[in-house]
Amino acid sequence: MTALDQHVAAVPLVDHHVHGAFTVELERAEFEGHLNEGSPDPIPPWMTQFDSQLGFAVRRWCAPVLDLPAHAPADEYWKRRTELGVGEVTRRFLGDAGVSDWIVDTGHATGSLLGVHGIESASGGRAHEVVRLEALAEELARENVTGRDYADAFTARLSARTENAVGTKSILAYRTGFDIDLTAPEPAEVVQAASRWLDSGGERLDDEVLIRFGLHAAIARGLPLQLHTGLGDRDLDLRRVNPLHLMDFLRSVPDVPVLLLHCYPYHREAGYLAQAFPNVHFDVGLGINHTGVRSAAVVAESFELAPFAKQLYSSDAWGPPELHYLGALLWRRAVAATFGRWVADGDWSEADARRVVDLVARDNARRVYQL
Amino acid sequence: MTALDQHVAAVPLVDHHVHGAFTVELERAEFEGHLNEGSPDPIPPWMTQFDSQLGFAVRRWCAPVLDLPAHAPADEYWKRRTELGVGEVTRRFLGDAGVSDWIVDTGHATGSLLGVHGIESASGGRAHEVVRLEALAEELARENVTGRDYADAFTARLSARTENAVGTKSILAYRTGFDIDLTAPEPAEVVQAASRWLDSGGERLDDEVLIRFGLHAAIARGLPLQLHTGLGDRDLDLRRVNPLHLMDFLRSVPDVPVLLLHCYPYHREAGYLAQAFPNVHFDVGLGINHTGVRSAAVVAESFELAPFAKQLYSSDAWGPPELHYLGALLWRRAVAATFGRWVADGDWSEADARRVVDLVARDNARRVYQL
Amino acid sequence: MTALDQHVAAVPLVDHHVHGAFTVELERAEFEGHLNEGSPDPIPPWMTQFDSQLGFAVRRWCAPVLDLPAHAPADEYWKRRTELGVGEVTRRFLGDAGVSDWIVDTGHATGSLLGVHGIESASGGRAHEVVRLEALAEELARENVTGRDYADAFTARLSARTENAVGTKSILAYRTGFDIDLTAPEPAEVVQAASRWLDSGGERLDDEVLIRFGLHAAIARGLPLQLHTGLGDRDLDLRRVNPLHLMDFLRSVPDVPVLLLHCYPYHREAGYLAQAFPNVHFDVGLGINHTGVRSAAVVAESFELAPFAKQLYSSDAWGPPELHYLGALLWRRAVAATFGRWVADGDWSEADARRVVDLVARDNARRVYQL
């Protein structure tokens, strides 16, 4: 183990985009379903989702955390996991991730998930909140706001809910895609769109006008804005969430930090945007866990155009706490291997490598979110 | 040679997308032309297509099969090839490919190509047929079907022709691209479109309505559906055959296996689709031969998001039997190097690596096509 | 050092797309700004552009040219650079690049840059000119040409200015993007468009009709045509400068060499076009300097589909002479590592590797530009 490896292993991470871990026991089929990001369907009977890069990485790296040998068979893994129970499993994975700060999106399916405080107790780290804009709109709809009051109510609620938050997040990727007009709508349009949406039940927000309104309300609030880009559940259209579609929007909001999340397979495009716009940052979050051993290649590709002050670490873990741990482990492994090779070949100095590790692991996030 | 290398070298392949090998002697200029997938033009006089990754791979790996040293010069290669004659050359390459089952698209320029039985005799393997939808339509046109009868005639012919076939294939990539409405057309539209196409001569089918009709007739037939995606002859528009354009179509046909062929340079996008849709599978066929030594990188990139039950091997060889052999050799070489490194680094176990080799080499294809 | 390494180190390069080096002393902030291709904004106070792949490569490889140790800190680098002065710094970097021929785009912000003769004196190499079409149009506008005379004046000026030039170049990527009709406009359209543009002041040319007219005038002139594609300053829309948008245009101009510049992150797409069209060539110019140590991966990816007669070397250096040197150094390093591995693994012969080095380093450019 080189000194650089030791440094990478020891650096406390800021996981700048993460969700809660499950608080309830799962069936195995559910667990396997959560190892598949793209499909909401059951895993077909002729396959197991353990037979994937993520599944292999779970068996390789998570099994030892549960006292099993590396590469333990899926059945044994499942048996041991059940035996230990959700509380112990969660404490182990969150505690061993080496994360000092979790920046938590609390807006998605929170019923059976740890909240900000639960993450803190289970992990021993600090947790900070990010407010999901579309969830906030849907919350207002459930409270019977009127179309005429929607804009003010949204702004007031955003202001209140972000009092102790460190950022906001939009999932317009899932609702409209990026290839639409992303300018701020006129007030009259907002009234009209809100009335229409609320009249139709105010369920899942996919109205373009209200989503654009939410985005610009968040920009006006001034907190760092996270945007889901690239891979995700197939109710998005991957082609339409290429972050390059955001160039006009990014040109229009130079004063607020924007964080492009995940980005895979558009992480090179994201790196370009992070060079081209002083306020744009990015991560390769979700892509790390889901590509397993190949995350080394994805991480290496993410160190091309973007200045080193513009990339952050995240796991985008949601649900199984394996993901909170594995994201950190695979990122450390990828960075140690990639930077280690550059140092060994004489392209980077070791001191520089350590400095870039610290920036991406921690310091960039601390600066952006003012932790 | 590790035990894994030996396993990879020995596993019999199912080449799930392939065409016939030439039965006629070629001129050298023709041969070089067939080493270029994208261009229908003659190779310019100031270059040789041997100076390409595919050309170098032919000289490296095919020369020894013809009793020449590795890297034999192009002139010597051509001399020896001519000397042995098409029959012997074809027997050597098809026999040495280590392919137990060839799944053959019999719908393209079959005049001077081995058919299903010819492939069996030359190789000693089994061969199975895939029916090309657009070729079937053009066959009907030559038989003077009327616009009013087209739909019924197509369905009947498809049914008859697929009685002993294992799948269907569409090349709408070449004819319309994917960025069109891909829903099933109304019967009246089909009558009208068929009449128009047949009246205009019924040559090359590029009518959107009839192509959509064919696709959905194939879906109704229930056999696995192959779709050419990504690179190919330049009469396609590469940007419009990104498989991500297919997301709406894929959402609408959950019950039939869909096989995305080639995919390069969109193989990561294809891997995403293979994770996101239980019925979607893919290969990096054509991209393997044409990138030569770089196929190792392309194959490695294909093992990211897709569950291991969703990737298949193919050569997409057409014409020179070098391609039938080289596709298999390069795939084995890429997989042995890639998985071997993962095993050596401790990321994968050797038993798992062998299991994934078997899935992609053979077992996934056997399941999908019910061989 | 292998024999191949020695060959790569010694081969004189043709840098087929380059600009002048600064003739004036810079402030450090300006220098750092020139290490960022995408953004016209000042580098934010909380970061330094030295903390990027390009910045690290400057400190690693350029520092020794200025008598500093490899990886010298940015402050020391800047101090030494200032001490030596622009003349000496430029002579060292241009002289040490090992470039025999510079093919110079003289059409961009030439006030404080070396011209063709200045590059020759500073480097000891030969320099050749490429005429930028949009700059030529803007030159005519400053001379008060009328809309009615525009077409003739442009053609005559193009003819005069290219008498001793080796090629033309268009930056329509920055002005219109590629996803527009790129056919030749009608004469009446040109008169109308020219009148409109000239009446409005005739500043920065972004009129689609006049840009298309310029392109086809250049095609008619018959010289090699360079097209900026892929990454660049953010006033382009990266998504709209994917060279795949050019397929219809390329189909229409089979007789003139077209050179796709940079291409990153679309270099695989460019490689496809270079296979599919006999007249299409490409480089990964700008992407080499800006990805630093990762240029090895980018260069490796550029050796996939394109025949070896279709790729060229360029630095796209503009401004700091570090870029003229570093482009050459990183390209040599990438090629030596990539080809060296292929030779060591037995995939390529050493003689073949040397031959491909010569083609891309020099011979392809000599042929295309008839040097």
Label residues B107-145 b or e (16+ Cβ within 10 Å = b).
beeeeebbebebbbebbebebbbbbbbbbbbbbbbeeeb
Who among C43, C60, C238 is closest to A347 (CB)? Answer: C60
The answer to whether B87 and B22 have CB atoms below 8 angstroms apart is: no
Give phi and psi for C219, each to the nearest 5: -60, -45
Section B217-242 average pLDDT: 97
Each residue of B191-228: pLDDT tens digit?
999 999 999 999 999 999 999 999 999 999 999 999 99
User: What is the CATH architecture of A3-22+86-135+161-178+218-368?
Assistant: Alpha-Beta Barrel (3.20)
Alpha carbon distance C187, C205 (integer Å) = 18
Give A290 to chain B, closest Cα distance, Å. Answer: 6
Alpha carbon distance A22, C216 (integer Å) = 62
Cβ contact (<8 Å) for B71 and C349? yes
Alpha carbon distance C202, C217 (integer Å) = 19
Each residue of B24-66: pLDDT tens digit?
999 999 999 999 999 999 999 999 999 999 999 999 999 999 9
Section C270-287 average pLDDT: 97
Give A161 to chain B, closest Cα distance, Å. Answer: 34
Who among C37, C239, C297 is closest to A242 (CB)? Answer: C239
Who among A38, A42, A294 is closest to B275 (CB)? Answer: A38
Each residue of B89-120: pLDDT tens digit?
999 999 999 999 999 998 887 779 999 999 99
What's the pLDDT score for residue B352? 98
Give A307 to chain C, closest Cα distance, Å. Answer: 4
Each residue of C31-75: pLDDT tens digit?
999 999 999 999 999 999 999 999 999 999 999 999 999 999 999
Alpha carbon distance B115, B120 (integer Å) = 9
In this prediction, residue C1 has a pLDDT band, given cuts at 50, 70 and 90, of confident
In this prediction, residue A155 has a pLDDT band, given cuts at 50, 70 and 90, of very high
What's the pLDDT score for residue A108? 80
Each residue of B170-197: pLDDT tens digit?
999 999 999 999 999 999 999 999 999 9
Q: Is the pLDDT of residue C217 over 80?
A: yes
What's the pLDDT score for residue B108? 80
- The DSSP result for C316-334, as a single string, is ---BSTHHHHHHHHHHHHH
Kindly state the percentage of chain B with pLDDT values over 70.
100
Using the Cβ of A140 and the Cβ atoms of chain B, whether some distance falls under 8 Å is answered with no
With 0-12 / 13-18 / 19 or more C-beta atoms within 10 angstroms meaning exposed / middle / buried, residue A78 is middle
Cβ contact (<8 Å) for B278 and A43? yes
Q: Which residues does chain B have within 8 Å of residue C352's beta carbon, measured at their own beta carbons?
A: 56, 71
Query: Hey, what are A224's tokens?
Result: 């760092």
Each residue of A105-137: pLDDT tens digit?
988 877 799 999 999 999 999 999 999 999 999
What's the pLDDT score for residue A111? 79
Kindly state the percentage of chain C with pLDDT values over 90.
98
Q: What is the ipTM of this complex?
A: 0.97
Using the Cβ of C341 and the Cβ atoms of chain A, whether some distance falls under 8 Å is answered with no
Domain ranges of chain A: 3-22+86-135+161-178+218-368, 26-84
Alpha carbon distance C180, C56 (integer Å) = 39
Give B364 to chain A, closest Cα distance, Å. Answer: 10
What's the pLDDT score for residue B229? 98
Section C338-358 average pLDDT: 98
Cβ contact (<8 Å) for C304 and B293? no
Contact partners, residue B9, CB within 8 Å, separation at least 6: B1, B98, B332, B336
Who among A41, A70, A237 is closest to B247 (CB)? Answer: A237
Chains that touch C (3 or more CB pairs under 8 A): A, B
